């Protein structure tokens, strides 16, 4: 008889491994879009696209057990949500905060 | 009020593929539920009719329409209006929980969640709603 808990643990281990392998690529896509946003004229559509990606990253990474990545993504998400709700373009200080959190994301995704 | 409906079939509506995968594998491995997944509000409305689920796990942020809009559309259709819905969402605040319950959701599963406890969470919400 198959032990479902053991089978589940095995499946989870493989899923986490795959998620971890794909994490740097996901973060790279987000940070490239963020760089584009900074280099081009302000684009709310691109901003919202990045927000949605960060939102998904926060939920998924936490569910897969990468809580630090989820925490950093959540921090960025909160700042971006407030800007979206108020349709207020971020000032340079807040942009730097996000930039710094993006760098943290890159670092954790490579180290975890 | 007791309801004789047994929880057997669940429709999972989630566009984030990693979450979709983990929910499907968790429920298929740890429960006997029959699971169907889709990734948009439009597909959810279609599959709710063709799959006839006992319960829908519905992501709040979908690409084509949001979860509350999907729920409102389900409630307008005689064939789907009685299907219970649990929202899955990140960043849920107490006022959001109240709002989602007021519009007809039977419960909310916050993201991130622990996959190991997901079946029990779903069963508890179901029991709370169905006696």
Tens place of pLDDT per residue across chain B (131 aa)? 445 678 999 999 999 999 999 999 999 999 999 999 999 999 999 999 999 999 999 999 999 999 999 999 999 999 999 999 999 998 678 888 999 999 999 999 999 999 999 999 999 999 998 86
ipTM comes to 0.88
Specify the pTM.
0.91
Task: Catalogue the E-assigned strands of B40-105.
Answer: 55-59, 85-90
Q: What is the DSSP letter of A89?
A: P
Could you tell me which residues come within 8 angstroms of residue A71 by beta carbon, excluding any fewer than 6 positions away? Answer: A62
Q: Which of A4, A63, A74 sits opposite B22 (nearest CB)?
A: A63
pLDDT of residue B4: 63
With contact defined as beta carbons under 8 Å apart, do B44 and B70 qualify? yes
CA-nearest residue to B114 within chain A is A63
CB of A20 less than 8 A from some CB of B: no
Q: Nearest CA of chain B to the CA of A96: how many Å?
A: 23
Q: Which strands sit side by side in the sheet containing B55-59, from one edge to the other?
A: B34-38, B9-13, B55-59, B85-90, B107-111
d(CA A42, CA A18): 35
Q: Nearest CA of chain B to the CA of A2: how many Å?
A: 11
CB of B20 less than 8 A from some CB of A: no
- pLDDT of A41 higher than 90: no
* Pairwise CB contact (< 8 Å): B90 & A58: yes
**E strand or H helix at B107:** strand B107-111
Q: Which of A11, A60, A74 sits opposite B16 (nearest CB)?
A: A60
- Of A15, A7, A11, nearest to A65 by C-alpha is A15
**E strand or H helix at B11:** strand B9-13
* Pairwise CB contact (< 8 Å): B30 & A4: yes
d(CA A104, CA B12): 33
């Amino acid at each position: 008889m198959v032990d479902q808990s053991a089978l589940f643990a095995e499946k989870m281990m493989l899923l986490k491994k795959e998620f971890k392998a794909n994490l740097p690529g996901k973060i790279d896509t987000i940070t490239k879009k963020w760089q584009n946003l900074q280099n081009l004229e302000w684009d709310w559509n691109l901003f919202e696209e990045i927000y949605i990606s960060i939102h998904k990253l926060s939920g998924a990474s936490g569910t897969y057990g990468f809580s630090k990545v989820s925490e950093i993504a959540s921090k960025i998400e909160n700042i971006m949500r407030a800007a979206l709700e108020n349709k207020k373009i971020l000032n340079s200080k807040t942009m730097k905060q996000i930039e710094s959190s993006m760098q943290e994301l890159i670092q954790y995704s490579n180290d975890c | 009020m007791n309801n004789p409906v047994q929880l057997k079939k669940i429709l999972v509506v989630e566009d984030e593929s990693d979450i979709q995968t983990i929910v499907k594998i968790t429920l298929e491995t740890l429960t006997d539920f029959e699971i169907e997944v889709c990734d948009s509000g439009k597909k959810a409305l279609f599959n709710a009719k063709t799959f006839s689920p006992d319960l829908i796990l519905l992501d709040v942020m979908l690409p084509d329409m949001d979860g509350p809009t999907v729920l409102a559309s389900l409630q307008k259709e005689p064939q789907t209006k009685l299907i219970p819905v649990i929202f899955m969402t990140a960043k849920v605040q107490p006022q959001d929980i109240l709002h989602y319950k007021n519009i007809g959701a039977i419960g909310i599963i916050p993201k991130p969640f622990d996959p190991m406890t997901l079946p029990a969470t779903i069963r508890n919400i179901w029991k709370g709603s169905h006696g």
